[in-house]
Amino acid sequence: MPTTVRAAGALVTLEGVVAAVVVVVLIVRGVAGHDQSAASGYGTAAWFGILGGAVSAAGVGLLLGKRWGRAIAVIAQLLLLPVTWSLLTDSHQPVYGALLGTVAVVALVLLFAPPSIRWLAQDYGAEPE
């Protein structure tokens, strides 16, 4: 398995861990009564838990050399790009936006790097050029 896939797996796993931290924060905020409605805080926590779990699974899958993790990881990175834009513009959170954007773009570059593509193609019997 190429280093590019391992590095992408590490980044994607990190994103899943961050989502898990967000889940904990949202639940604590809900229990403490900081959210306007319990459904909003807990619902958002559930959403982050589901998506973060999928992203974590994809990252760990890549770290273990499972090709199925790449598809989930690519989709997650593409979905994070509009979030990055929102953080940079409407949300006025340029530090978080720059950090998230950098991680997403680097992960995409790693997932589409030639060694990653050759590794993926091996599963389909393609001959490397």
Distance from the Cα of residue 75 to its chain's centroid: 9
What pLDDT is attached to residue 39?
Answer: 66
Would the pLDDT of 29 be above 60? Answer: yes
In this predicted structure, what is the pLDDT of residue 66? 94
- State yes or no: pLDDT of 120 exceeds 80: yes
pLDDT digits (tens, 9 = 90+) for 40-54: 788 889 999 999 999
pLDDT given at position 107: 97
Residues 40/32, Cβ–Cβ less than 8 Å: no
Report the predicted TM-score, pTM, of the whole model to 2 decimal places.
0.86
